[in-house]
Amino acid sequence: MNLKKANQTVRYTCRVFMMAGALTLMLSAAFTQEIGIGEWRDHLPYNSGRSVAGDGDRIFCATPYSIFYFDKQDNSINRITTINGLSDAGISCIRYHEGDQILVIAYQNANIDLLRGNTIINISDIKETNAVTPEEKTINSIYLLGDRVYFSCGFGMVVLDILTEEILDTWYIGPDGAHLEVLDLTGNDTSFFAATEAGVYSARMDDPNLAFFEAWSRHENLPFPMATYNHIESFSGRIFANKYSTEWDQDTIMSWDGAQWKYESAALSTGDLYTLESSGGILYAGYNYYLDAYDSGLNQVMNIWTYGTYGPRPSGVFIDREGTLWISDFSNGLVRRNGDYDYTFIHPNGPSVSGVFDMSIGGSDLWTVPGGRAPWWANLWIPGSVSSFVDSEWYTYSGSNTAALDTIPDILTVCVNPFDHKRVYAGSWFRGLLEFNNGVLENIYNHTNSSLEEHNVAGDGIVKVGGIAFDGAAHMWVTNANANNVLSVRTAAGDWQSFYLESFSSGQDLGELMIDAVGQKWILMRQDHSILVFDDNNTITNTGDDEVRLLGSAQGNGAIPGNKVFSIASDIDGEVWIGTDAGIAVFYSPENIFSGQNFDAQRILIPRNDGSGQADILFEFETINAIHVDGDNRKWIGTDRSGVFLLSSDGQEEIYHFTTENSPLLSNTITSIAINQESGEVFIGTSSGLISFKGTATEGGETNEDVYAYPNPVRPGYSGPIAIRGLVRNADVKITDIAGNVVYRCRAEGGQAIWDGRDFNGQRARSGVYLAFISNDDGSETFITKILFVN
């Protein structure tokens, strides 16, 4: 394997908030109120600690998504993510090489990072090799010995020289050199010991050809020589190996004294083992819900079965130079043991779950839900939770703090009331509609207290909500899958009513709901190339003038491309954009659906500009999971495998294309998109979690309101964009010096104009006061604001 290096400077910035907790102190890093234009920030769970390591002053904790560390010198919490240097998401484990002062980071996809000081070196050899199957590209554990790093992988072992940053060797130790998954590795004075999916293997360290399978021998004298062993550790002259069991609490630790193996069940527990590590003459065994520690005679010297009001779920341990025990915990992030029954919980603020199936924003309040459906629209039984990002703080409602959510799985749609941002509604694909009021779960609507109906086959309290939307009169509309009347409305006055939308909708699976500019309700359906459109003609109680139509793939009836419709959005011009498994199509005249005139969806054609006169269909071979419209009527497009795009308002121009290869994007599989139209921050849900990007467009108004420029003043050394916010929609902006000389002119992107701080000749503006003259097209709405430059 050839080494590939990519050095990146790592920058850490965060604020630390300390809150008194039930057990000493809870530390939480808060988000800054805003990020700069063109900058990214993550919104990842940090409560799930998977691995812990440390140097003299920093304690690192790995989550499945990123790393954070606690600095003992200033008590700060710092994040390390794809935004500031990590090469990937999905961390499996970390180890710190104290001699060379390097943090070794292993990813689930077999990628490797080395953090040396403030520089990250990426080693992607295993990830990119064709010598093993994609399923085998995993790293299960890291073992350090001298200047070597040994990675236990899904196919064998890989040896890295930490000084030269080069892969030295690959060991295939299965019979006849077959690939064999190695789950853990340890060593004593003479030999290596590998815990594998098919027994425990060992080889002498001084063997000159450890890459040759015959150098390794399986311990046939183990009571179960072919069983799976997932943890192995050298301690007090013996080798301890854990026999993994698929049965509850039936793992078994055995020890080898150099001659024979024996059960240690008399001294050690037989629970589900998650970590087995030795440090400072103590053996630590971490089980599901408790942590034990043993001396060299296997006498128990410590048992942590509670953190006070929280139960332990240890995944790793580390003892620092002062003898303090640090625990990575599946539920509590990083835990510091201060003494008996005295613990500190440490992790940055973030949602408790990574899933982002749907999002909704009201003002600056973001709400997310992680639920989903199987491709055939069956339940996935994802535990019910709803997360909010309000006032720059994340909070997750789940069964642990909201008892009702224990029995409400698969919450897959969410909608903030645009007329009252404190009221938020979330739909479950199992138990109806949830209403939150000012952060409290206030109501659960189902067949007993609303017009929503039970599943027409399963019944028994099963009420499936697939989509929620508000119309311009503050009425809330809800799709009710597998019911006879599949659409319900809760009026602004609080009254419920359901609608029968013809036989082709009754008993069918229905999902996302979107209301267009003329009040028509668009409902995505499970059946192929189908969208249900309903118009109540703004007379909810008068069903006599209702109209409904099932759109399909046929010309004259929608011309929907592909087989499945996955996303839908109405833009500022009233056009309806849909995302399918064959790209994008646009209904340019949605108001014609019930008029008898042509309304078919049209594909967007992109000229090739190669002289052929031909054009390509936009995203013809892409599945479009998300479409969202920003304040400048541009389209943010989330794909199933190619990341996220920003397109011009007509779709003809690609402005951005973000992938994991060219940006901090966590995954190229996009699940949802939402935009804070007040700030321009774009929230991108991916299969690996939520991340956001500060865009340039905000929502423009009919008038200039609360106009201001930022940063202002523009201080020496700042070279980023200068934004002028609060503008009338698509305003003309002219910037002059104090003498009236025009130095720059542009049109606002929605309600925000962007200036790079340079004049028409590309020269940076000199120190002084500059005036921004703002006007709409007819000059009826004007404003002037000042910008101070200090060079």
Q: What is the pLDDT of residues 422-460, one digit of tens each?
A: 999 999 999 999 999 999 999 999 999 999 999 999 889
- Which has more pLDDT, 279 or 451? 451
% of the chain with per-residue pLDDT over 70 = 96
**Residue 754: its pLDDT value, please?**
96
pLDDT band at 341 (very low <50, low <70, confident <90, very high): confident
Answer whether residue 227 shows pLDDT above 80: yes
Average pLDDT, the chain: 93
Residue 405: pLDDT above 80?
yes
Owner of token pair 């999002």? 359
Edge-to-edge strand ranges of the sheet holding 432-437 = 411-416, 423-428, 432-437, 440-445
Looking at residue 791, its pLDDT comes to: 86
Q: In angstroms, rounded to a whole number, what is the distance separating the alpha carbons of residues 665 and 636?
A: 14
- Amino acid 369: pLDDT: 98
**If you average pLDDT over residues 396-411, what whole number do you get?**
96
- Asked whether 113 and 88 are in contact (CB, 8 A), the reply is yes
Q: Which band of pLDDT confidence, cut at 50, 70 and 90, is reported for residue 308? A: confident
pLDDT exceeds 60 at position 60: yes
Q: pLDDT-based confidence at 9, cuts 50/70/90?
A: very low
Span 503-509, average pLDDT: 93
pLDDT, one tens digit per residue, over 756-769 is 999 999 999 999 99
Cis peptide before 175 (omega within 30 of 0): no
Which whole number is the average pLDDT over 525-531?
A: 91
Q: Is a pLDDT exceeding 80 seen at residue 24?
A: no
Is residue 790 very low, low, confident or very high in pLDDT (cuts 50, 70, 90)? very high
Confidence of residue 304 (pLDDT cuts 50, 70, 90): very high
- 368-387 mean pLDDT: 96
Listed in sequence order, the residues at least 6 apart from 26 whose beta carbon sits closer than 8 Å to its beta carbon are: 18, 19, 20, 344, 345
Judge contact between 768 and 752, C-beta under 8 A. Answer: no
Percent of the chain with pLDDT over 90: 90
Token digits of residue 524: 């995505």
Of residues 256 and 14, the one with the higher pLDDT is 256
Question: Does residue 37 have a pLDDT over 70?
Answer: yes
* Predicted pLDDT at 33: 59
- Of the pLDDT bands very low, low, confident and very high (cuts 50, 70, 90), residue 612 is confident
Structure tokens belonging to residue 365: 């309040």
Q: Above 90 in pLDDT, residue 309?
A: no
Quick one: pLDDT band at residue 265, thresholds 50, 70, 90?
confident
Segment among 422-426, 574-578, 716-720 with least mean pLDDT:
716-720
Helix, strand and coil content of the chain, in percent to the nearest 5, comes to 5, 45, 50
Lowest mean pLDDT among 151-160, 300-309, 481-490, 627-636: 300-309
Task: Kindly state the average pLDDT of the residues 745-756.
Answer: 95
**Cα radius of gyration rounded to whole Å, the chain:** 30
The answer to whether the pTM exceeds 0.95 is: no
pLDDT for 5 equals 30
Half-sphere exposure of 464 (CA within 13 A, CB side): 26
Closest CA to 132 of 153, 146, 116, 118: 153
Which of 612, 627, 751 lies closest to 604 in space, CA to CA? 627
Dist. CA 385–CA 410, nearest whole Å: 8
pLDDT at residue 19 tops 90:
no
Confidence of residue 611 (pLDDT cuts 50, 70, 90): confident
What's residue 694's pLDDT? 97
Least trusted range by pLDDT, from 287-291, 309-313, 463-467, 623-627:
309-313
Q: What is the DSSP letter of 128?
A: H
Over residues 179-225, the pLDDT tens digits come to: 999 999 999 999 999 999 999 999 999 999 999 999 999 999 999 99
Q: Locate 126 and state its tokens.
A: 């295993």
